[in-house]
């Protein structure tokens, strides 16, 4: 089982993420036989699903000649910026690790799980899978070798997810193509200021710094056509005293960081009134990392 997540957190594109307890995927991995390598996906094509694709690549990498069946039970809605594809891959590689007794550490699990993302968005971004594997607030501080650190954020923050009723096939792939390939030094410095503010704010419990830091000037701006309602949701949430607001992953969902002084009911009312937006609003907490259950 692995939870959903919100990646980026504003200025931390492909680096930062947080797991949420609201949605979870369950993935079952069974060994069917030995002698040759084959991965089957119950009800689908194993090469187009992040769970079975990650399992295949992990088996190839470890040199195991086994036939495996992968079964995915989706609890996380896909294509909405909630790390749905990443959570399946995270649960799958953790289950395979347990089944084979490979003793792979959590950084290496993230490395295997992120390869699964190739099957959905065409590129192995590590942020969602890092949050789903490790749980809590995470930062991917290195990809070669892969390294994830936990960010010691205040425990009493609540997460509000605004999840639009909006589906765009191949959304993350398209959204990644919209990210600028080059940025100016000025924009880089501004982004670094915000990222620093966010990280110092989260780890020291400084609400004002989190609020200042949870603002992106590069990626969210470039992707705005995918979630035109975002500026209005953001403005409303900040007026209702949210700690911070950002696009969840590649969108279209929005993550609002809240505490006891945030008017969450007011945010719900505002979201209902935003023209052209039909969305569910979920109030949830920071989620735990991947869990494996052994069944005989």
Ligand X SMILES: N[C@@H](CCOP(=O)(O)O)C(=O)O
13 binds, among ligand ADP, ligand X, none (CB under 5 to 8 A by kind): ligand X
Contact 130, 249 (CB under 8 A): no
- Tell me which residue has its CB nearest to ligand X: 249
DSSP state of 77: P
Q: Is 125 in the site for ligand X (CB under 6 A)?
A: yes
Sign (positive/negative) of CA torsion 117, 120, 122, 127?
Answer: negative
236 binds ligand X (CB under 6 A): no
With CB under 5 to 8 Å by kind, the binding choice for 93 among ligand ADP, ligand X, none is none
- Name the residue nearer to ligand ADP (CB basis): 84 or 262: 84
Name the token pair of 251. 């969108």
For the chain, report the end-to-end CA distance as a whole number of angstroms: 17
Judged by CB under 6 A, the residue of 11, 83, 154, 164 near ligand X is: 83
Residue 21 counted as an annotated binding residue = no
* Cα–Cα distance for residue pair 220/234, rounded to 1 Å: 12
8, interface contact from ligand ADP, ligand X, none, CB < 5-8 Å by kind = ligand X
7 marked ligand binding residue: no
Task: Find which of ligand ADP, ligand X, none residue 51 binds, CB within 5 to 8 Å per kind.
Answer: ligand ADP
CA torsion through residues 184, 188, 189, 194, sign: positive
Residue 176 interacting entry, from ligand ADP, ligand X, none, C-beta within 5 to 8 Å by type:
ligand X
Would you tell me which residues interact with ligand ADP (CB under 6 A)? 48-51, 72, 78-86, 88, 119-121, 171-172, 249
**Structure tokens of 246?**
């950002």
Please name which of 131, 148, 125 lies closest in space to residue 2, comparing C-alpha atoms: 131
Which of ligand X, ligand ADP, none has residue 52 at its interface (CB below 5 to 8 Å by kind)?
none
Strands 158-164 and 279-284, sheet pairing: antiparallel
How far apart are alpha carbons 147 and 101 in whole angstroms? 22
Pairing relation of β-strands 66-73 and 38-41?
parallel
Position 128 contacts ligand X (CB under 6 A): yes
For residue 249, the number of C-alpha atoms closer than 13 Å in the C-beta half-sphere is: 34
Nearest to 90 by CA among 104, 16, 79: 104
- Cβ distance to ligand X smaller for residue 8 or 49: 8
The answer to whether 216 touches 180, Cβ cutoff 8 Å, is no
Residue 287 is assigned to a ligand binding site: no
- At its nearest, how many Å lie between ligand ADP and the CB of residue 91? 9
**Is the CB of 81 or the CB of 244 nearer to ligand X?**
81
Distance CA 255, CA 283 (A): 10
Site membership for ligand X, residue 249 (CB under 6 A): yes
In the complex, minimum distance from the CB of residue 273 to ligand X, in angstroms, rounded to a whole number: 26
Is 54 a binding residue for ligand X by CB under 6 A? The answer is no
Q: Which residue numbers belong to the known binding site for ATP?
A: 77-87
Q: Which residues are annotated as a binding site?
A: 77-87
Residues interacting with ligand X, by CB under 6 A? 7-8, 13-14, 81-83, 85, 125, 127-128, 172, 175-176, 249-250
């Amino acid at each position: 089982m692995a939870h959903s997540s919100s990646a980026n957190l504003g200025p931390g594109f492909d680096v930062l993420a947080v797991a949420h307890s609201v949605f979870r995927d369950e993935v079952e991995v069974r060994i069917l036989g030995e002698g040759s390598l084959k991965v089957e996906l119950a009800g689908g094509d194993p090469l187009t699903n992040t769970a079975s694709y990650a399992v295949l690549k992990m088996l190839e990498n470890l040199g195991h000649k086994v036939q495996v069946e992968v079964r995915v039970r989706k609890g996380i809605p896909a294509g909405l910026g909630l790390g749905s594809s990443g959570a399946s891959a995270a649960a799958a590689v953790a289950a395979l690790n347990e089944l084979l007794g490979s003793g792979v550490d959590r950084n290496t699990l993230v490395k295997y799980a992120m390869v699964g993302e190739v099957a959905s968005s065409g590129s192995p971004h590590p942020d969602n899978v890092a949050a789903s594997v490790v749980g809590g607030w995470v930062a991917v501080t290195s990809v070669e070798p892969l390294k994830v650190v936990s960010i010691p954020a205040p425990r009493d923050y609540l997460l509000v997810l605004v999840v639009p009723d909006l589906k765009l096939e191949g959304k993350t792939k398209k959204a990644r193509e919209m990210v600028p390939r080059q940025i100016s030094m000025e924009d880089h410095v501004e982004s670094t200021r915000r990222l620093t503010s966010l990280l110092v704010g989260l780890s020291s419990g400084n609400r004002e710094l989190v609020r200042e830091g949870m603002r992106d000037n590069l990626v969210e701006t470039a992707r705005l056509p995918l979630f035109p309602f975002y500026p209005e949701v953001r403005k409303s949430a900040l007026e209702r005293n949210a700690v911070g607001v950002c696009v969840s992953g590649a969108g279209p969902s929005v993550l609002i960081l809240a505490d006891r002084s945030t008017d969450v009911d007011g945010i719900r009312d505002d979201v209902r009134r935003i023209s052209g937006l039909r969305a569910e609003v979920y109030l949830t907490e920071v989620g735990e990392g991947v869990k494996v259950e052994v069944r005989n």
